[in-house]
Amino acid sequence: MMILLQSSDLWLTLLTTCCLSLLLFYVLKTLVNLRRNIAKVQDIPGYWQLLSEGFIRIPILSPYIAHGNSDVIIQLLKQEQLKQQQHNKDSNSSNSSNHHHSNQLCIRVSTHRNNILFADKDSCKEVLLTKSSSFVKPVETFYEPFNIFSKKATSILTAPDGPVWKNHHVVVSPSFTTNNLRLMCQAAIRATDALFHTKWEKLLKSSQESMIHHQTSLGEIKKDGFVLDLEDYSDVTLAVIGEAGFGIDFGIFSETSNDGKKFREALTNVIKHDYYQRFFFGEGLVRKMLARYTKTDQALELMSEHLNRYISQRQEEFKKDPEKPLNDLLSQLVKANMEEESNHKLTLDELKSNAYIFVIAGHETTSTTLQWLMYELSKNQKTQQKAREEALRIGGPELRAPNFDDYASMDYIHATMMESLRLHPPVVSIVKECCKTTTIGKYKIPKGSTIYLDAKACQTLSADFNNDTYKGTDFAPERFLDKDFKQKVISSVSWFPFSGGNRKCIGYSFSQIETCMILCRLLQFYEFTLLNDESKKEDKIVDVPGVTARPSSNLRVLVTRRR
């Protein structure tokens, strides 16, 4: 018995020693790589951490490059900005030969690779435009998990720079026609009005009848109004992409389309779970187990079957009548692909991948923008009223719904949207990989570095948005009413919530016009008031990381009927 115990203790000791040795080896290897990486970028001010990224900020492991720490990054950049301003003042750098980059805003966070963050317009412009050939999309690291039908089934978002991306661009770009944008505007109004009739008006009627605070199956009732459910905007934008993207009813506000409802439920499941399962666990056993548990594998199979059928139907229809007026995005995508030469055609899985990206970009981005607009307008009542006055002018005495032709006259509503996108870009950072050693401003960027173009920081800290009239943190749509200023900040890359250069979001017009249509219709009928007391920490609204950076779930907005 004693011999058995001694043997057991020996094996336990050996196992513990082995594990500790492996851990020590990993730590030493990490530290050696870290030291080597820091040596490559010693001239760039910055920090280090052991993990390349993380979900939350963890001292030493991932205090800087972590999801949800955009405010921390901005504070670090502000500190660097103050140092530079003092240095420029002391050395009178305005007379230096490098004035173009005297206000370069850059920090680096070294891990097993060098992560370099830029937040000034000149550096961002070099990366996106003038020296774009030195920077590529980090497809394998960040974008490959979007290739849900197979690793090789890329899309306009995930294709590597070069001939493959060009093939996607040639086929996808014709989808966003004026006719499609007109269809989208009609779909946006139908979905918004359906939300009013099926939910909001019922909630308001309930609030008038009871006059006390209570909860119903539709939502939270307060005196004279109800508390906004942020998911309402997800429903609206999903309904819009169903009609304008696929030409089908997703059955969100009605029970008329069981087929569309099944497709929508499958899409929603995949969007919610699939990316993170693939990002963290690749194609291994753990991901497959998680996909089975969340039923994402079944949802993906159902989604694939539906897309196969929809694409096949479009192909048959265009074979019979090449000029058939089908203006939804999927129809235009299929038509453009049929017109391509055989060696440039996209495969069936690539068509499906692009259709999936249409949903994510057309649904998530607009929904997130609307949520942030509700936050800003509900706490800036004068701005809300100015936007409403424009919406009422467009609608006239009969409160006519806006249409595509009205978009050109939505000056203030459009400025309000641009200002919200400035402070709250749905995608906080544009990520690139340095494919050859190059120089950005005064810094040498080693090959293999990961580049973060921090849109939120740049759009907050840029001198273009900080002057005697407005601070960068102010919500002031008036700054975008000047057309010359608007063009200046776009061309100079001070404002780039949709990225820039060749890889700029191909559907940016779709998203902007959709946002303005929905916002205009909302303001014609309702008023919004912020219930949060942001002087209290628990009531403060912050970014929540995800596919897009949404406002935190503690956001409470009171919706009342327009007086």
- What CATH number has the domain bearing residue 226? 1.10.630.10
Instruction: Answer whether 124's CB lies under 8 Å from 118's CB.
Output: yes
Q: What is the chain's Cα-based Rg?
A: 26
Does residue 341 form part of some domain?
yes
Residue type, 67: H
CA dihedral 204, 210, 213, 214 (to 10 degrees): -90
Distance between the two ends of the chain, CA-based, in angstroms? 87
DSSP code of 315?
Answer: H
Per the structure, the complete domain to which residue 430 belongs is given by 163-561
* Average pLDDT estimate for 510-525: 98
14 belongs to a structural domain: no
Of all residues in the chain, the percent with pLDDT exceeding 70 is: 95
Total domain count for the chain?
A: 1
Q: Which residues contact 302 (CB under 8 A, 6 or more apart)?
A: 262, 263, 266
Four-residue CA torsion sign, 12, 17, 22, 26: positive
The mean per-residue pLDDT over the stretch 204-211 comes to 81
Give dist(CA 65, CA 52) in Å, integer. Answer: 7
| CB within 8 Å of 48: residues ≥ 6 apart | 34, 38, 109, 110, 111
What pLDDT digit, counting tens, does each position of 221-242 carry? 777 899 999 999 999 999 999 9
What distance in Å separates the CA atoms of residue 184 and residue 358, rounded to the nearest whole number?
13
- Amino acid (1-letter code) at residue 2: M
Q: How many CA atoms lie within 13 A of 72 on its CB side?
A: 13
> What is the tens place of the pLDDT at every residue in 351-406?
999 999 999 888 899 999 999 999 999 999 999 999 999 999 999 999 999 999 99
Q: Has residue 81 been placed in a domain?
A: no
Is 146 within 8 Å of 157 (Cβ atoms)? yes
Task: Outline where 120-257 has alpha helix (H).
Answer: 121-125, 163-172, 178-195, 201-210, 231-240, 246
Coil/strand/helix, residue 557: strand
CA dist 419 and 480 (Å) reads: 7
Instruction: Report the percentage of the chain scoring pLDDT > 90.
Output: 66
- d(Cα 294, Cα 270) in Å, to the nearest integer? 9
| Tokens coding 181 | 């944008």
pLDDT of 26? 76
The token duo for 270 is 């995949």
163 φ/ψ sector (left φ>0, alpha ψ -120 to 50, else beta) = alpha
Contact between 201 and 249 under an 8 Å Cβ cutoff? The reply is: no
Q: C-alpha angle 368/372/378, rounded to 5°?
A: 145
Alpha carbon distances (Å) from 434 to 321, 404, 468: 47, 41, 37
- pLDDT at 33 (0 to 100): 81
C-beta separation of 462 from 368 below 8 A = no
Tell me, yes or no, whether 53 lies in a domain: no
Phi, psi of 163 (to 5 degrees): -60, -35
Determine, yes or no, domain membership for 238: yes
User: Has this prediction a pTM greater than 0.85?
Assistant: yes
Residue 505 assigned ligand-binding role: yes
Q: What is the pLDDT of residues 306-326, one digit of tens each?
A: 999 999 999 999 999 998 989
DSSP category for residue 401: P
DSSP state letter for 62: B
- Does residue 286 form part of some domain? yes
Q: Which of 90-94, 282-286, 476-480 has the lowest mean pLDDT?
A: 90-94
Q: What is the pLDDT of residues 83-115, one digit of tens each?
A: 877 777 776 644 544 445 558 899 988 888 899
Report whether pLDDT(541) > 70: yes
Residue 267 lies in a domain: yes
| CB neighbour class for 412 (10 Å; exposed up to 12, middle 13-18, buried from 19) | buried
**Average pLDDT score, the chain:** 90
CA distance 66 to 355: 30
Q: How many whole angstroms separate alpha carbon 452 and alpha carbon 46?
A: 14
In a domain, 237, yes or no: yes
Q: Decide the pairing of beta strands 46-48 and 106-110.
A: parallel
